[in-house]
Structure 1
Amino acid sequence: MASPLDLDPRWRALQERGGVIDIGFDHPSEWPHSERGDAPFVKEGEDQLTSELCRAGDLRYLRAVLSLPIRGSEEALGVALWIEVPHTVFYAYLDHLDGGTLPANELGILANDITPLADMGSPVTLAFETDGARPQAGIDGLADISLDHLLDLYEASGTLARSDLKPS
C-alpha cells in the first residue's frame, strides 16, 4: 500500500537509503566516562555501564525502547534510550534479569536529549515486558511523529543530515 509520504522527495530519498534508521544512545547523557562502544561494559570506580543498565554515582538508569509511529506511513522509529529510575526499580529489574519477578510499570526520567520530541528530564512511563525485552518507554503527549520531527531528530542525534536526503 502506498504511503501519503511517497509524495515527499525526502521520504523517497530516505527509503532509497534503506528506510527508517533506528536511533540508539550508548549511555545516559550524564554519564561522565568513556562510551561503552563494543565493550560488554565500562567500569570506572563504582560507576558501571552495560548495554542495559547504568550506575553513575547515586543515579540508576535502565535502557528502554521508545517506539514512535511515523504519521502517514506504516513505519515506526525505534529509539533505544536511557531512563533514570528509583533504586528500587533498578534492583527489581536486575533481579528480573536473573529470573525474578517482573517489576511493576513505573515512572522514570528521560536521561537523553531527544529534542525536538522531548527534553532531557521529561517524565517517562516504563512498561516492563515478560519476554525479557527492554522496557517500553512512553512519553505523555508523544504518540507519533511527523517526517519533519524525524528529520530534526536525525540531525540533532547526528544520525543523518537533511542534506543527505536531496532528491536524485
Structure 2
Amino acid sequence: MASILDLDPRWRALMAKGGVIDIGFDHPSEWPHAPRGDLAFVKEGADQLASELCRLDETRYLRATLTLPIRGAEDALVIALWAEVPHPVFYAYLQHLDGGPLPENTRATLANDLSPLVAQDSALTLSFGDGSVRPSVTLTDIADMSFDDLLALYEASGTLARADLTAP
C-alpha cells in the first residue's frame, strides 16, 4: 500500500537505504563509565550494567522498548531505551527473571535523551506484557511522530544525518 510519504524524496531515500532504522541505547544517559559494548556485564565499584538491567548508585533502570508509529506511513520506529524505575519494581522484575510473578505495570522515567521529540526525565508508563519479551513503554502525550520528528531524532542520536537522504 502506498504511503503519503512516498511523495517525499527523503522518505524514498530512507526506504532505499533499507527502511526505518531502529535506535538502541547501550546504557542510561547518566551512566558515567565506559559503554558495555560487546561485554555481557560491566561493573565499576557498586555500579553495574548488563543488557537489560542497570544499577547506578541508588538508581535502578530497566531496558524497555518504545514503538512510535510514523504519521503517514505504515512503519514505526522502535527504540530500545532505559527507564528509571522504583526499587520495588526493579527487584520484582529480577524475581520474575528467576521464575517469579510479573511486576505490576508502573510509572517510570525516561533515562535517555530523545530530544527533540521528548526530553530525558519525561514520564513513561512501563508495561510488562506477558513477560515473554522486553518490557514496553509509552510516552505521556506522545502516541506517534512525524517524519520530520524522525529525522530530527536520527540526527540528534547520531543514527543518520539529513544530508544522507538528500545527497545525489
TM normalised by structure 1 equals 0.98
Gaps of 5+ in 2: none
What SS class does the counterpart of residue 11 from structure 1 fall into? helix
Give the match for residue 79 of structure 1: 79
The alignment-based identity, stated in percent, is 65
- Give the Cα–Cα distance (whole angstroms) in 2 for the partners of residues 131 and 18 of structure 1: 30
Matches within 5 A, 1:80-95: 80-95=80-95
Q: Deviations along 1:94-120, whole A, 9 cap, x unmatched? A: 111111101110001110000111101
Gaps of 5+ in 1: none
Identify which range, 134-143 or 151-160, moves more after superposition: 134-143
What SS class does the counterpart of residue 154 from structure 1 fall into? helix
Q: CA deviation at 1:79?
A: 0.4
**Contact 1:13 1:167 (8 Å CA) reproduced:** no
- Give the Cα–Cα distance (whole angstroms) in 1 for the partners of residues 89 and 58 of structure 2: 14
**Contact 1:124 1:138 (8 Å CA) reproduced:** yes
**Contact 1:97 1:132 (8 Å CA) reproduced:** no
What SS class does the counterpart of residue 93 from structure 2 fall into? helix
Q: Tell whether 2:123 aligns with 1:139.
A: no
Q: CA deviation at 1:167?
A: 5.7
**Contact 1:70 1:77 (8 Å CA) reproduced:** yes
**Contact 1:20 1:75 (8 Å CA) reproduced:** yes
Runs of 4+ in 1 over 2 A off after TM superposition: none
**Contact 1:9 1:167 (8 Å CA) reproduced:** no
What SS class does the counterpart of residue 103 from structure 1 fall into? coil
**Contact 2:102 2:131 (8 Å CA) reproduced:** no
What SS class does the counterpart of residue 43 from structure 1 fall into? strand
Give the match for residue 116 of structure 1: 116
Q: CA deviation at 1:90?
A: 0.3
TM normalised by structure 2 equals 0.98
Give the match for residue 163 of structure 2: 163
Q: Deviations along 1:43-71, whole A, 9 cap, x unmatched? A: 11111000100000000000100000000
**Contact 1:10 1:167 (8 Å CA) reproduced:** no
Give the match for residue 17 of structure 1: 17
- Give the Cα–Cα distance (whole angstroms) in 1 for the partners of residues 97 and 13 of structure 2: 40
What SS class does the counterpart of residue 32 from structure 1 fall into? coil
- Give the Cα–Cα distance (whole angstroms) in 1 for the partners of residues 91 and 146 of structure 2: 36
Q: CA deviation at 1:129?
A: 2.1
- Give the Cα–Cα distance (whole angstroms) in 1 for the partners of residues 144 and 6 of structure 2: 18
Cα 1:103–1:131 change in 2 (3 A) is closer
Q: CA deviation at 1:131?
A: 3.9
Count how many residue pairs are aligned between Structure 1 and Structure 2: 168
Q: In angstroms, what is the RMSD of aligned CA positions?
A: 0.8
